Structure 1
Amino acid sequence: MEKRFESKVEQAFYELSGMQEMTAQIPYVTVDNFPKLGLMTSLRFLEWAEQNPNGVISLPTGKTPEYFIKYTQFLLENWENEKGIEIRSQYGLGDMAKPDLSGLQFVQIDEFYPIDPRQHNSFYNYVMKYYIEGFGLKKENALLINSEEIPLVDNKSFLEVFPDYNIDLSLRYREATSEVEKMQQDSIFMIDNWCTQYEQKIREKGGIGFFLGGIGPDGHIAFNTRGSDHYSTTRLTKTNFETQAVAAGDLGGIEVSRNRLVITIGLDTITHDKDAVSIIFAAGEAKADIVKGSLESKPDAVYPASVLQRQKNSRFYLTTGAACKLTDSVNQYYKEGEWTQTKTEKAVIDLCQKLNKYGHHLTLEDLKADPYTSQIPNLSEDTVQLVIDAIQNKLEKGMKADNDEVIYHTGPHHDDIMLGIMPYTNRQMRSASNEIHFSVLTSGFTAVTNGFIIGVLKECQEFIAKGQVQMLEYPDFFEAGYDKKWDKDVSHFLNSVAERNENGKRRGLCHRVIRSIVGIWKVQDKFHLNKVIASVIGELESSYDGGKNSPEVQKMKGMVREFEEELVWGHFGVPVNNVHHLRLGFYKGDIFTELPEKNRDMLPVLEEFRKYKPTTISLAMDPEGSGPDTHYKVLQAIAGAVKEWGEEEDLSKLRIIGYRNVWFKYHPADADYIVPVSLNSLDVLENSFTECYMSQVNASFPSYEYDGKFNELTQKVWVQQLKQIQLLLGKNFFYENNHPLVRATHGLVYMKEMTADEFVTMAKDLEKAVEENPF
């Protein structure tokens, strides 16, 4: 393969990628998986640092840099060890001296404003922990954004000037109407001056020499959101909804991030040094559209990262999923290897979209004129009909009833199963011959806000004071009774739903929360119970939004989510014993969730399989971490369990069903099952989500794609998937169909089926990626 890159690291990974052409506006390199993305980025950074020991660097915060940070620390600590030498030699740095990072000058990319720098969710704290301390950089060589050190009027603190954290930037352009507004207005201009000075200090250093950043769902780099001026500099600014949704997890909810401003370096700040190395890295199919737009567009305000075209050393580092919609990738997909039925389906379905033509209107001339359908072997007038037949067969499979099955549905988080395949599970539960289990593999406590729990605990206090928690009077309640009759809580709550009794629903929730508190804190009596509740309220009220809770509060929040999951499936008569809460140990609420461990995380899943012996297992199929990294790590644990179980049992008849949800979607050509979704199914989705996921109805942690509840976004996805298939099959296929289920279709769910061997083979790449991690 010809040499394309001056960097030995980039050239080595480029050769391994098997890429045949590169026509994008900015060069890019692809890798197979998320951990390898971090390895490539780490090696390139160390290569640059060795050549520029006093250079200016700017490194990212958040979850994406996890493996970049871990590999950098490992390589620095093991440079001359066997494993370190092996890694360096494999990627072109075998003869390179160990770089000394202590002379590097660091520039913080961005920060929420205002925010206490001591909070674990401040970017200042992240930089200090992972870069200044973690990489051995010198703080005196760093330009940092510390909210407490940015001067305001009369040397006041930011809480004195902006007591509710809200900053009204219209004060830049209008007259202040009160003394408070005048103080805030003057302070805003002082912040603006600080930003100008920050920019000047960067320029005095010659600009940023090595920039590494992620890319947001709207294409933002740093906090330069869609529409940012390509000549922007460091500034205090608002963000857009997509960015606020992503930041909600850091700040404790969209309610907080929607009103929090940011300080960010600008696009011109990043590109000031024309010889700089600027790298954007991205993983997963969820980033594929924005990656394509950013790489294949001329400089455009809609795609902030397109500004990197100014620099000859700008690069994108991508997983194959993130690169899958690039023209180069699509061309290579159709050119390489044998031609498959999947390629034919994908080419024809996409052509319908490109031409906005129904399948039966496509002509042979249309097929011959398209660069992809023209490659279909034995192209003829019958080609489109063969694709139509194949999709109809998938639809028939999606309507086929399951009977006499042991079905074990898994979800990384609570609500993942519902948002992925609820119309499918609904039909399975109509057959009494099926034994059905729902298993959530992580606690999910991070999705419950402090404000929600405080409200529930205060309601508990009120119900106790009114004598409306009768179970507290049972003689053995605090010894053993609290751990019984969990199904009664579910029944009580759902009866109240049927009665439209809001007070009854809240009592039902409080009953379960009280049971949880008694078990977690080993409560001895009613006095002790009231004392614990008051203490927890005090702890939460004194905590900052997004702060890490104590292990006890984390467990209590997780048990609220577990109750919500039991309520959803209780709609269909599923008993509490068939809703499993595995609480895998890697999930601890830290910035970086730990890697799955065999004994801690895989064996509990394996024990479930041994116990229930499922004939069908469903799971969120996210091998590249397109959605939350929990999806990716849960998949690793399930894959390891299936592999181990396969060494004990004959799994030749085991079905593995992969689903996707709001984070990323299947192409219908990649799916094996297409499941009809009726209006009735959509009503069940809406009602059960709204009634049962009480901690989620305010959408504190929404998807960047939709400002609202996840079930509403799910409905939107399923309806879009129907439109995709309608364009191939024709709308009349549905409303004139002989099958009532097809006639009632108003959305579609896509699923993929695998045998155990196929799944384990797919998972071997994941397993290898995990095993290759030296830390």
Structure 2
Amino acid sequence: MEKNKTFTPVEQSFLNDVPRNNKVNVPYIVVDNFPNLGMLTALRFLEWVHENPAGVISLPTGKTPEYFIFWTKHILENWDSESILELRNRHGLMFQDKPSLADLYFVQIDEFYPIQSSQANSFYHYVNKYYIEGFGLKRENALLINSNEIPLAEGRNFEEIFPDNKVNQELRYREAQNALEKLQKESIFLIDNWCSEYEEKIRGLGGIGFFLGGIGPDGHIAFNIKGSDPYSTTRLTSTNFETQAVAAGDLGGIEISKERLVITIGLETITHNKNAVAIIFAAGEAKAPVIKNALELPPSNLYPASVLAGLPNGRFYITLGAAGMLNDYIDDYYRSGTWSQEKTDKAVMSLTRKLNKYAEHLTLDDLREDQYTQLIPGLDEHTVQSVIDSINGKIKKGTERLSSEVFYHTGPHHDDISLGLLPYIHYQSRNETNASHYSVLTSGFTAVTNKFLIKILNDTLSFVKKDEIEMLQYPDFFEAGYKNKKDKDVYHYLINIASGNAYERSRAVSHRMVRNIVELWTLKNRQDLEIRISEIITAVNFSYDGQNPEPKIQTLKGMIREYEEELVWAHFGVRTKNVHHLRLGFYTGAIFTEKPNRERDVIPILKQLRDINPTVISLAFDPEGSGPDTHYKVLQAIAEAVREWGKEKDLSNIKIWGYRNVWYQFNAADVTHIFPVSLNAMSTMDESFTNSYMSQVDASFPSYRYDGKFSHLSIQTWVEQLKDVQLVLGKPYFYDNESPRLRATHGLLFFKEMDVEEFLKSARELEKSTEGAF
């Protein structure tokens, strides 16, 4: 496309050839993947710094900036190297003198309140580590939000004023009812005053010159949630459920983030300087709806990011998935490239939703009047039937019985496989000629709250002291016995699900905890065990919620998740030897998980591929990082292992199944298999989830889409997918079908089958962009 003169040289180098016919509120640029999003943002930042060496910047926290930070440092540290010189020339960074960040002024965007500034999960700690220190900025040039330094009543600290970390904003509007509330009320007004002074300091610098921020699931920027006033300034405020769900990972659970207020700069703080470069960046299909709202709907309080429409230099930088619902990209999808049955399916299904009309009732005039179905080659009265046949074929393929297959089901985290494929796995596992292996690639310890761990440890200590862990009496237990009979721990738990004996279930969990603690700390006797359990309880009690624990406690938390995974598959007769726990080393619980590397993260997967020799590999298919960042990093590690495996044997008959779950979904037109899910299958999945994933039942880390268990959200997704397909096939296709399985259908599960070449092609671009990860 013709280069838009409003874009800078760096931006022009990233513009693609998608025609832009749709009017949007803010100019946008689309890149292929998450790492390239960071590269574009870093290059544009350095381009701006070169022109504004003493400018005012405000940069984001969280996981989204990972590659922005990486590329900024990498480019600066290797400025004159051959590879970076070539990169700079290719992307319009033509000046020779390396930009200096030392004289920039920095403005912290937001912070939880209250929170100790020393905590690693505070944004104050984040900006100091990654921006002040990481970028070499001057601390005296930084405006920071330090909860410990905000003045409160009588000069007290926030732990005295708000002992439970809860700030009751109602005190702004009602009288205090006791001495503590009086101090709290006075303190809230002091915080408000501090926020006003913070805003005044930003204005005193001339406002923010370069703003970079992510966008939340409700469309928020900074902590300006949906409904925020476009003229808002820095303030103490509450958040909504979507924001709290995202923050739960930082704060150690939604039960904490629901109670925590935030201090945030306002929307007008961001737009005060009309010459500011203000960039929102976002990756993945999950962000597509909020991107569409912000860019294509009239600016509104409902879409906070739409305030960038008032800035000539406002921009959105997004990945292909995040751009997927924009009219420009939908239009380009249909008008460019070769027409396929997938496009026909997608166009007709979209029309059924648009008109709320069953496919069999669509007329030829309906098809000719729609801007996309009219493009279908050979459009005639048989076109709709071709879509019906296509979807029906996917259901037939999904219900085919497979035999003599070796399944290697992988998940980035515990519960991913179950949430993505369980009903289908259960269906195929009934054929005893099939063999199944389940491999969880990371330890997933961050999903176990301190509160949950302490309860289990207290229960375990109690059972030990009451002599109710009988295996401790075996003479060789502390030497070798602790390694044996792990299947018995699983059976002990599940048999007491059947009998409804909660006490014995707790004892079963304690048996496994004893084995784990003895193994991790190489204990030699019962007395050492009791002392160690007490020490772990003390250590966890003295850590703050969301704190990354010391390595052995990390592993202990992960082992709880591993036991839970074994319980799930034992529901279906799978032995623990077929449930594998890889604990790939890149997963450390740090804000930015490391890039996978070959020796540590790829070779263990390759070894399993060699040992198991699967005919089918299933994986969470998230090439853009719509879900947790672990997903796409695991995807790359699996892809590299498969590449290596392909050097040793012919993989032409290997099938790859890409599944999705609670974080992102397929369109029915994009998949190869559609599997009918009955009420019984939904109940089985929900019960196995509830019975097994003990640490997740309280949904401390929920999806922003649903306030509850992931199992319920998966079921909700299957039901929604059925509704879409019913518009094509009609409801009678299901309730009046000759097949009892289809008559029992109340949800649909989608997945995509690929051959090895197709899978590796989908992963290759991201692998290349991580530059030397392998």
Category of TM-score, reference length = shorter chain: over 0.9
Corresponding residue for 1:720? 720
Corresponding residue for 2:155? 155
Q: CA deviation at 1:772?
A: 6.0
Q: How does 1:234-633 map to 2 (within 5 A)?
A: 234-633=234-633
**For 1:534-567, what per-residue CA distance to the aligned partner results, in whole angstroms no more than 9, with x for missing partners?**
0000000000000110100000000000000000
Q: CA deviation at 1:652?
A: 1.1
Corresponding residue for 2:49? 49
Cα distance in 2 for partners of 1:553, 1:755 equals 40
Is the contact between residue 89 and residue 95 of structure 1 (CA under 8 Å) also seen in structure 2? no
Q: CA deviation at 1:74?
A: 1.0
**For 1:181-227, what per-residue CA distance to the aligned partner results, in whole angstroms no more than 9, with x for missing partners?**
11000000000000000001111111111000000000000000001
Corresponding residue for 2:8? 7
For 1:383, the aligned partner's letter is T
Asked if residue 127 in structure 1 is aligned to residue 136 in structure 2, the reply is no
Cα distance in 2 for partners of 1:412, 1:591 equals 17
Is the contact between residue 248 and residue 257 of structure 1 (CA under 8 Å) also seen in structure 2? yes
Is the contact between residue 85 and residue 94 of structure 1 (CA under 8 Å) also seen in structure 2? no
Q: CA deviation at 1:275?
A: 1.1
Cα distance in 2 for partners of 1:401, 1:450 equals 44
Asked if residue 136 in structure 1 is aligned to residue 141 in structure 2, the reply is no
Cα distance in 1 for partners of 2:326, 2:481 equals 59
- The residue matched to 1:102 in structure 2 has which SS? coil
Corresponding residue for 1:175? 175
For 1:13, the aligned partner's letter is F
Is the contact between residue 719 and residue 746 of structure 2 (CA under 8 Å) also seen in structure 1? yes
Cα distance in 2 for partners of 1:33, 1:682 equals 34
- The residue matched to 2:393 in structure 1 has which SS? helix
**For 1:686-716, what per-residue CA distance to the aligned partner results, in whole angstroms no more than 9, with x for missing partners?**
1111110000000000000000000001110
Cα distance in 1 for partners of 2:758, 2:424 equals 22
Is the contact between residue 20 and residue 332 of structure 1 (CA under 8 Å) also seen in structure 2? no
Give the structure-2-normalised TM-score: 0.99
Is the contact between residue 124 and residue 146 of structure 2 (CA under 8 Å) also seen in structure 1? yes
- The residue matched to 1:519 in structure 2 has which SS? helix
Q: CA deviation at 1:771?
A: 3.0
**For 1:6-53, what per-residue CA distance to the aligned partner results, in whole angstroms no more than 9, with x for missing partners?**
411101111x46555453211000000110000000000000011011
For 1:576, the aligned partner's letter is T
Cα distance in 2 for partners of 1:537, 1:81 equals 51
Cα distance in 2 for partners of 1:66, 1:678 equals 41
For 2:280, the aligned partner's letter is I
Is the contact between residue 59 and residue 211 of structure 2 (CA under 8 Å) also seen in structure 1? yes
Question: Are residues 39 and 19 of structure 1, via their aligned partners in 2, closer, same or farther at CA, if it must alter by over 3 Å?
Answer: farther
**For 1:646-699, what per-residue CA distance to the aligned partner results, in whole angstroms no more than 9, with x for missing partners?**
111111111100000110000000000000001110110111111100000000
Cα distance in 2 for partners of 1:696, 1:538 equals 23
Cα distance in 2 for partners of 1:26, 1:681 equals 45
Q: CA deviation at 1:83?
A: 2.0
For 2:494, the aligned partner's letter is L
- The residue matched to 2:557 in structure 1 has which SS? helix
Is the contact between residue 111 and residue 124 of structure 1 (CA under 8 Å) also seen in structure 2? yes
For 1:271, the aligned partner's letter is T
Is the contact between residue 60 and residue 214 of structure 2 (CA under 8 Å) also seen in structure 1? yes
For 2:10, the aligned partner's letter is V
Is the contact between residue 17 and residue 30 of structure 1 (CA under 8 Å) also seen in structure 2? no
Cα distance in 2 for partners of 1:87, 1:118 equals 38
Is the contact between residue 35 and residue 766 of structure 2 (CA under 8 Å) also seen in structure 1? no
Cα distance in 2 for partners of 1:435, 1:679 equals 26
For 1:25, the aligned partner's letter is N
Cα distance in 2 for partners of 1:764, 1:108 equals 36
**For 1:103-162, what per-residue CA distance to the aligned partner results, in whole angstroms no more than 9, with x for missing partners?**
111000000000000100000000000000111111101100000110000110000000
For 1:636, the aligned partner's letter is Q
Q: CA deviation at 1:3?
A: 2.4
Cα distance in 1 for partners of 2:92, 2:547 equals 42
**For 1:69-118, what per-residue CA distance to the aligned partner results, in whole angstroms no more than 9, with x for missing partners?**
01111111111121221211110113342111111110000000000001
Q: How does 1:655-694 map to 2 (within 5 A)?
A: 655-694=655-694
Cα distance in 2 for partners of 1:556, 1:412 equals 18
Cα distance in 2 for partners of 1:267, 1:17 equals 32
Cα distance in 2 for partners of 1:177, 1:598 equals 62
Q: CA deviation at 1:766?
A: 2.3
Cα distance in 1 for partners of 2:189, 2:410 equals 52
Cα distance in 1 for partners of 2:70, 2:763 equals 22
For 1:639, the aligned partner's letter is A
Cα distance in 2 for partners of 1:12, 1:730 equals 48
Is the contact between residue 27 and residue 315 of structure 1 (CA under 8 Å) also seen in structure 2? yes
For 1:529, the aligned partner's letter is L
- The residue matched to 1:669 in structure 2 has which SS? helix
Corresponding residue for 2:191? 191
For 2:88, the aligned partner's letter is R
Q: CA deviation at 1:314?
A: 0.2
Is the contact between residue 403 and residue 433 of structure 1 (CA under 8 Å) also seen in structure 2? yes
- The residue matched to 1:325 in structure 2 has which SS? coil
- The residue matched to 1:103 in structure 2 has which SS? coil
Cα distance in 2 for partners of 1:762, 1:103 equals 42
Cα distance in 1 for partners of 2:563, 2:7 equals 56
Cα distance in 1 for partners of 2:298, 2:757 equals 45
Cα distance in 2 for partners of 1:363, 1:23 equals 31
Question: Are residues 513 and 312 of structure 1, via their aligned partners in 2, closer, same or farther at CA, if it must alter by over 3 Å?
Answer: same
Cα distance in 2 for partners of 1:233, 1:413 equals 39
**For 1:432-482, what per-residue CA distance to the aligned partner results, in whole angstroms no more than 9, with x for missing partners?**
111111110000000000110000000001111111100000000000000
**For 1:300-321, what per-residue CA distance to the aligned partner results, in whole angstroms no more than 9, with x for missing partners?**
1111001111101000000001
- The residue matched to 1:547 in structure 2 has which SS? coil
Cα distance in 2 for partners of 1:17, 1:528 equals 67
For 2:243, the aligned partner's letter is T
- The residue matched to 2:313 in structure 1 has which SS? coil
Cα distance in 2 for partners of 1:200, 1:22 equals 38
Is the contact between residue 25 and residue 299 of structure 2 (CA under 8 Å) also seen in structure 1? no
Q: CA deviation at 1:232?
A: 0.5
Is the contact between residue 35 and residue 67 of structure 1 (CA under 8 Å) also seen in structure 2? yes
Structure 2 gaps of 5+ residues are none
Percent of aligned pairs sharing the same letter? 59
Is the contact between residue 411 and residue 619 of structure 2 (CA under 8 Å) also seen in structure 1? yes
Cα distance in 2 for partners of 1:194, 1:401 equals 66
Question: Are residues 286 and 560 of structure 1, via their aligned partners in 2, closer, same or farther at CA, if it must alter by over 3 Å?
Answer: same
- The residue matched to 1:281 in structure 2 has which SS? strand
Cα distance in 2 for partners of 1:275, 1:19 equals 27
Q: How does 1:634-649 map to 2 (within 5 A)?
A: 634-649=634-649
Is the contact between residue 69 and residue 130 of structure 1 (CA under 8 Å) also seen in structure 2? yes
Corresponding residue for 2:710? 710
Cα distance in 1 for partners of 2:131, 2:309 equals 28
Is the contact between residue 211 and residue 279 of structure 2 (CA under 8 Å) also seen in structure 1? yes
Q: CA deviation at 1:770?
A: 2.3
- The residue matched to 2:279 in structure 1 has which SS? strand
- The residue matched to 2:102 in structure 1 has which SS? helix
Cα distance in 2 for partners of 1:558, 1:376 equals 51
Asked if residue 650 in structure 1 is aligned to residue 643 in structure 2, the reply is no
For 2:695, the aligned partner's letter is S
Corresponding residue for 1:760? 760
**For 1:226-245, what per-residue CA distance to the aligned partner results, in whole angstroms no more than 9, with x for missing partners?**
01111100000000000000
- The residue matched to 1:695 in structure 2 has which SS? helix
Cα distance in 1 for partners of 2:42, 2:766 equals 20
**For 1:564-600, what per-residue CA distance to the aligned partner results, in whole angstroms no more than 9, with x for missing partners?**
0000000010000000001111000000000010111
Is the contact between residue 53 and residue 101 of structure 1 (CA under 8 Å) also seen in structure 2? yes
